Structure 1
Amino acid sequence: MTTVIKNSSLTAEINHFGAELISLKTNQNKEYIWEGNPEFWGKHSPILFPIVGTLKNNSFHYNGNEYYLSRHGFARDMEFELIDSTANSATFAIQSSEKTLKVYPFEFELQLIYTLNENNLSIEYKVFNKGKSTMPFSIGAHPAFALPNLFENYAITFEKEEPLEFYLLENDLISNKTKKLEVTNKQIPLTYEWFENDALIFKTLQSNSLTILENENPILRVHFEDFPSLGIWTKMNAPFLCIEPWFGYSDTNESSGNLFEKEGIQILESNATFHSKFSIEIL
């Protein structure tokens, strides 16, 4: 089942499975979200929760017990309930359950709120700690933007001048190896060579937005003011680019297995609410 929201400029379609954005079109019918061709990658814009990336040994321990969580967590593979909607907005939710408690022993509610405003789609995250103890979690976005023309025709521009040092992955974990992107006027031409070793992972950034250009013309901007970390990713020879604002990232080889000690983890007190959002602006 899907829900469609519209305004005078844009139409967005969200799949209830994973509350996943599967389409964002202009009123001229131009599509900006990757089609999800499984030949390359069968998703469009999954939600990453309650972890981002991979845990060491795909596991963590809590109160003397060991738990197993697969890469990026389970929310993207759950059926969400549509709990509120208008012509230009929709709110989806999941709750902890007997099934989730077996792999993540914390009581929660997760809401995703999609809102269209002129040429902008905002995506809000709300996490409610419904348990009696503090709750560690990470959350992140993974939208894939369609790049239908020659990949080298595209470039990305960061909002601010900064040393663009990213961390390399080894066996899906964060290594201590880094590289720097070669930047000219805050702009980086896209090349598949950057992604030969998987995603580019920035633990911190000064920039609050990133723009995709096609033949030097800005076409789309992702605003992520609230998010401290960022991933950029594509598959080799795939016609899309993921721009991924994150709270958290994969474990390192030195990780202790204690989620409360994990780099980038968020800690939410009992009965407290976490709220954050990012947005996609069509230019």
Structure 2
Amino acid sequence: MITTISNSILSAKINHKGAELFSLTSLKNNQEYIWEGNPDYWGKHSPILFPIVGTLKDNKYHIANKVYELNRHGFARDMTFELIDKHENSATFSIQSSDETLKVYPFDFELQIRYSLEENKLNIEYTVLNKTAAKIPFSIGAHPAFTLDGNFEDYQLEFEKNEPLEFNLLENNLISNQTEFLEKKEGLVELRHQLFENDALIFKKLESKSVSLLKNKIPFLKVHFQGFPHLGIWTPNNAPFLCIEPWYGHSDTNESDGNLFNKEGIQIIDANKTFNSKFIIEII
């Protein structure tokens, strides 16, 4: 099923499978901003990453001496969400723990995703409810892919703050200790596919809480991620899109001990408490 929300400026479409945003369109010029999902490059649009972000070492973790297997980015993106609230410019979706999720993630939870349009902005809010009498470890993250028409090299990134852009490289889908710095020219990062030869760029120390996409040095889109401690930027080889991914958490390192509570970047919700976060896609 598909749910559409709109205001006088934007229209957004969300697939109930994964509560995945697959269209964000300007009503002024019918401009589409979300990647079409061509499987020749990458068959998704904007999956939700939960209850892990990235890859676990050997795709395994343990809780109380019991080993569980969980595939990259978790299971939320493959589940069908229930639409629990709908207005013209907003929609809220929900999944809850089940017999199937408990086999791979032994915690009772509810995950709500709320999309709302406010003028030229799409707000995407995450709510994780701990429905147990014990702590819950989890990660959550966004993976929106923004379509880039024409030459990839015509596009630039501009980070909110003038800071060194140090990122960690991935190695076999795990975070390596190797870091590099993105070069800037006149304050802008010039996009080229060679930047992503070793997979995603993982930023763990950013002061910036927003990043803009520009075409020929003219900004057209900005992602705001206040509160998110990590950011991933990724595109596959020669693909005509770029993912800008605010995260709470990231892949394991090779040194991981497998205990999910000890995982670098993990979030913990106390018993019967709630976690809330929000990021914003602004059309300029």
- TM-score scaled to structure 2, two decimals? 0.99
Match in the other structure for 1:98: 99
The whole-number CA distance in structure 2 between the counterparts of 1:214 and 1:222 is: 15
The whole-number CA distance in structure 1 between the counterparts of 2:78 and 2:127 is: 18
The whole-number CA distance in structure 2 between the counterparts of 1:60 and 1:131 is: 20
Q: CA deviation at 1:117?
A: 0.5
The whole-number CA distance in structure 2 between the counterparts of 1:184 and 1:232 is: 18
Question: How do residues 246-261 of structure 1 correspond to structure 2 at under 5 angstroms?
Answer: 246-261=247-262
Q: Secondary structure at the match of 1:72?
A: coil
- Matched AA of 1:74: F
Match in the other structure for 1:225: 226
The whole-number CA distance in structure 1 between the counterparts of 2:213 and 2:26 is: 16
Match in the other structure for 2:90: 89
Question: How do residues 41-190 of structure 1 correspond to structure 2 at under 5 angstroms?
Answer: 41-190=42-191
The whole-number CA distance in structure 1 between the counterparts of 2:104 and 2:10 is: 38
Whether contact under 8 Å (2:156, 2:191) holds in the other structure is: yes
Q: CA deviation at 1:203?
A: 1.1
String of CA shifts for 1:217-238, please: whole Å, max 9, x gaps: 1010000011010000001110
Match in the other structure for 1:5: 5
Whether contact under 8 Å (2:148, 2:242) holds in the other structure is: yes
String of CA shifts for 1:117-148, please: whole Å, max 9, x gaps: 11000000000000111000000000000001
Q: CA deviation at 1:7?
A: 0.2
Whether contact under 8 Å (1:166, 1:202) holds in the other structure is: yes
The whole-number CA distance in structure 2 between the counterparts of 1:149 and 1:160 is: 28
String of CA shifts for 1:125-176, please: whole Å, max 9, x gaps: 0000001110000000000000011000000000001111100111100011
Q: Secondary structure at the match of 2:68?
A: strand
The whole-number CA distance in structure 2 between the counterparts of 1:156 and 1:255 is: 32
Q: Secondary structure at the match of 1:232?
A: strand
Match in the other structure for 1:18: 18
The whole-number CA distance in structure 1 between the counterparts of 2:283 and 2:9 is: 9
Q: CA deviation at 1:185?
A: 3.7
Whether contact under 8 Å (1:160, 1:186) holds in the other structure is: no
Q: CA deviation at 1:56?
A: 0.3
The whole-number CA distance in structure 2 between the counterparts of 1:116 and 1:191 is: 32
- Matched AA of 1:225: Q
Match in the other structure for 1:267: 268
Query: Can you give the 5+ residue segments of structure 2 that lack an aligned partner in the other structure?
Result: none
- Matched AA of 1:116: L
- Matched AA of 1:99: E
Whether contact under 8 Å (2:166, 2:205) holds in the other structure is: no
Q: CA deviation at 1:44?
A: 0.1
Q: CA deviation at 1:204?
A: 2.2
Q: Secondary structure at the match of 2:104?
A: coil
String of CA shifts for 1:212-266, please: whole Å, max 9, x gaps: 0001110100000110100000011100000000000000000000011111000
Whether contact under 8 Å (1:159, 1:186) holds in the other structure is: no
- Matched AA of 1:75: A
String of CA shifts for 1:58-91, please: whole Å, max 9, x gaps: 0001112100000000000000000001000000
The whole-number CA distance in structure 2 between the counterparts of 1:205 and 1:272 is: 28
String of CA shifts for 1:35-72, please: whole Å, max 9, x gaps: 00000000000000000000001000111210000000
The whole-number CA distance in structure 2 between the counterparts of 1:154 and 1:64 is: 48
Q: Percent identity, aligned pairs only? A: 65
Query: Can you give the 5+ residue segments of structure 1 that lack an aligned partner in the other structure?
Result: none
Q: Secondary structure at the match of 1:57?
A: helix
Q: Secondary structure at the match of 1:102?
A: helix
- TM-score scaled to structure 1, two decimals? 0.99
RMSD: 0.6
Number of corresponding residues: 283
- Matched AA of 2:125: E
